[in-house]
A = this chain, B = another copy of it.
Amino acid sequence: MSIRVGIVGISGFGGGEAMRLIAGHPSFELVYAAGEGSAGSRLADRFPGVPAKLAGLVIERWNPASLPKLDVLFASLPTGTSAEALARVPKDVKIVDIGGDHRYAEGWAYGLADVWPDHIAGRSRVANPGCFPAATLTALAPLLAGKLIEPGGIVIDAKTGISGAGRGGGGGFGYAESNENLVPYGLLKHVHMPEIATTIERLSDGSAAGLVFTPHLVPMTRGVLVTIYGRGRTTTGECLDAARRFYAGRPFVRVTDTPPQTKWATGSNLAFVSYAADLERNLVIAMGVVDNLGKGAAGQAVQNANLICDLPEAAGLDGVPVWP
């Protein structure tokens, strides 16, 4: 029996990717789509490659009072707007919020699915991690759990493709200005810092004091790479071993000997992590790669939905990355 799902925020990149994944999901049936920018259009007008079965679905203006019967709602709304938009969704509709408003909010599980799936299963409200936290925390979790890195003083140099800035980004992300350009931004005050700090502390039972996070916009459409510098008396091999044990049997995290490249993940729900350490210098470098719209948004959202619907965790998420 199919599970009836809806998407609010279908006009954005995250909502569009959720549509793509749901279209290929064995148990989910997309019965509702809402979006500010495209209300009134059919899905096929917005996404010319949408499958025939979904082509005629009309995108609606969001109104939580007039939802059809839904089992799961995916929300992909700009940070700052989803708390209010989702407040009146009926309690029996499960929600996965891809946006930023419910991370570590009361009543919401923080959906770091590869790290703590058991914490998510059985919940009815899940807040998806941001794309930078997804890459960062997936790379750090095995080191923090294994005490191979100190939780304090971690420096995260983060790089994202431009779709990570969202479709509503406006003039700042025009092609001509963004192409052939690499742009640091949000120094010392990025919105993703609190959820990273909180999760580091949960995973380490220590203090994340001194956390530094510097995001950069890279001229590519998709992909996140974080290069993380921390203190720890360990070796490259020990880090890789710890990560392999930590993620043994988990479907989506690949631990690689060589530094991961963003293109390895494109279009998939995979995360790639690797490490380099120098015992003498008390230095650990951790790297994490995700597709910001996959594991960084819609992929992890579907994974979380699978967990809360008691489906196989990888259902609908077995697409191999698109390369080149």
Contact = CB atoms under 8 A, between A and B. Distances in A.
A272 interface: yes
Interface string A117-128: 000000000000
A129 B72 CA distance: 43
Interface in A235-260: 251, 254, 256, 259-260
B49 A176 contact: no
B221 A218 contact: no
Contacts of A24: 318-320
Contacts of A281: 210, 212
A278 B193 CA distance: 15
Given A179-B179, A221-B180, A318 B51 contact: yes
A194 interface: no
Contact of A184 (B161, B184, B259, B270): B259
A227 B272 CA distance: 23
A167 B175 contact: no
Interface residues of A, number: 78
A251 B254 CA distance: 35
Interface of A: 13, 16, 19-20, 23-24, 47-52, 155, 157, 159, 161-163, 167, 169-171, 173-185, 187-188, 210, 212, 214, 216, 218-223, 225, 227, 229, 251, 254, 256, 259-268, 270, 272, 276, 278, 281, 283, 285, 287, 318-324
Given A181-B220, A184-B227, 6 more contacts: A13-B176, A16-B324, A23-B320, A49-B268, A49-B270, A221-B324
